[in-house]
Amino acid sequence: MVATAPALRALPSGRYRFSGALRSEWTKIRTVRSTAWCLLATVVAGIGIGILASASEASRWRNGGVIDKLLFDPTSVSLTGLIFGQLAMGVLGVLTMSAEYGSGSIRATLAAIPRRPVVLGAKAVVFGVVAFVVSEAVSFAAFFVGQAIMAGSAPTATLSDHGVLPAVIGGGLFLTLLGLFALGLATIIRHTAGSISTFVAILLILPLVDSAFPAKIGWPIGRYLPATIGSAMTSTTLQGAHADFLPSFPFWHGFALLCAYAVGALVIGGLLMVRRDP
C-alpha cells in the first residue's frame, strides 16, 4: 500500500477546470475530418456562390427593369452564398455534439468532466470562436470579390457606405449563431440525422410553408424565421433580399432574436443533458 500511495496521489481528480475543458474541446474539433470538410464547404459556398450571383447581376444589369434597379443591393448580392454556407455551418454545429453521442465517446468525456454544463459550455465557446473567425473571413471575402466582379457593369458598394459594414459583419454573426443554434438542437435531440433534419426543416422548410399563406397571415410569422432574419441582416435595406417588399426587423433586433434562439436551444439542451443519462 505504501508503494502505491504516490501513484494514487498522481491520478487526476476527474474535476477539470473550464480551461481544461476548453483545451479538450479544441483538440477534438481540430482533429476530426468533419470540421475541415464543413468549414471548406462553408468557404466554397459562401464565396463561390457569391461569385456566381455577382457575375449574373453584372451581366444582366443593363437589361434589368426600373424597379429591379431601384431595389438593387450590391452588398446583399455578393453575400448570397451565405444562404448556402449556413447549412454547412449548421452541420458542423450538430456534429460538434452529436458525433460523441453517436460513437459513445460522450461517456468518456463525462467521466473525465462530470459537470455537464462545463462540457456544453466549452463546446459552445470553442465552436463559437472557430465559427465566428471562419464566417467573418468568408463574409468579407465574398463581399470584396463580389464588388470587384460587379465593378464597371453594375453599381457597387464600399464598407464606408451606409449600412454596408453592419451587413458584412452581420453575415458572419448570422452563420455563427445558426451554428450555435444547431449545436443546441443536437444537445436536445442527441442524434445526428434527427438534428440535421430538424435544423434544415427550420431553416428551409418552414419558410416555404409560410410563403404558401397570404402575406398578411404569413409575414407576421415569417419575419421571425432565422432565414428571414439572416436575409435582412445581410442587406442594407429593411426589405432584405427576399422580403417581398415587406419590412423586416432592423439589424440589432434580428441579431437579438438569433441570440435568443441560440441561447434558448443551448439552455434547454444543457438542462436535458444534466437530467438524462449519457
> Would the pTM count as exceeding 0.85?
yes
Q: What is the pLDDT of residue 61?
A: 82
Range list of β-strands (E), 105-191 = none
The per-residue pLDDT of the chain, averaged, comes to 88
The residue to which cell 438542462 is assigned: 271
pLDDT on residue 239 = 52
What is the pLDDT, as a whole number, of residue 6? 46
Indicate if the alpha-carbon torsion angle 125, 94, 146, 69 is positive or negative. negative
Model pLDDT for residues 138-184, shown as the tens digit of each residue: 999 999 999 999 998 888 999 999 999 999 999 999 999 999 999 99
Amino acid 77: pLDDT: 93
d(CA 235, CA 218): 21
Grid cell for residue 243: 422580403
Q: Is the pLDDT of residue 240 over 70?
A: no
pLDDT at 215: 77
pLDDT > 80? residue 9? no
Confidence of residue 243 (pLDDT cuts 50, 70, 90): very low
CA distance 130 to 38: 12
Length of the chain in terms of residues written:
278
Give me the pLDDT at residue 276, please. 85
Q: Any idea which of 55-59, 69-73, 89-93, 209-213 has the lowest mean pLDDT?
A: 69-73
pLDDT computed for residue 247 by the predictor: 58
Domain ranges (residues) in the chain: 16-275
* Residue 273: exposure state from Cβ atoms within 10 A (0-12, 13-18, ≥19): buried
Q: What integer pLDDT is reported at residue 16 of this predicted model?
A: 65
Q: Is the pLDDT of residue 82 over 90?
A: yes
Look at 7-16, 206-215, 247-256 and tell me which has the smallest mean pLDDT.
Answer: 7-16
SS3 at position 130: helix
Looking at the predicted structure, is the pLDDT value of residue 116 above 60? yes
pLDDT tier at 4 (50, 70, 90 boundaries)?
very low
